Amino acid sequence: MNIIDLINILYKGVQVYSGILIIYALLSWFPGAYDSKFGRLIARICEPYLRLFDRLNLRIGMVGFNVMIAIIVLNVVATLLERILIAIAY
């Protein structure tokens, strides 16, 4: 496996996890959605990562920006990791 394959896997993983985070955020629009089997599964996947951002108090009124900031941080870390991997490889 070369470095390009590793970077592609990294970005696919970030895309999938970002999509799951978006689904988690959309579930908040539906009452009781987190109580379904699907909602519990998504919450089990997302909440450990989102707890990192709970201390930042990213709410303005009734709107929370935790998921948006979490996605941005995830993409920034993936980009930094990509640059590190490329620097190591070459």
What digits encode the pLDDT tens for the residues 54-86? 888 888 888 889 999 999 999 999 999 999 988
Q: pLDDT at position 76, please?
A: 96
| HSE of 80, CA atoms in CB hemisphere, 13 A | 6
Q: How many domains does the chain have?
A: 1
Structural domain boundaries, residue 37: 3-89
pLDDT in tens, 2-61: 888 888 999 999 999 999 999 999 999 999 999 999 999 999 999 999 999 988 888 888
On the question of pLDDT at 90 being above 90, the answer is no
- pLDDT value of position 83: 92
Q: Name the pTM for this structure.
A: 0.88
pLDDT of amino acid 64: 84
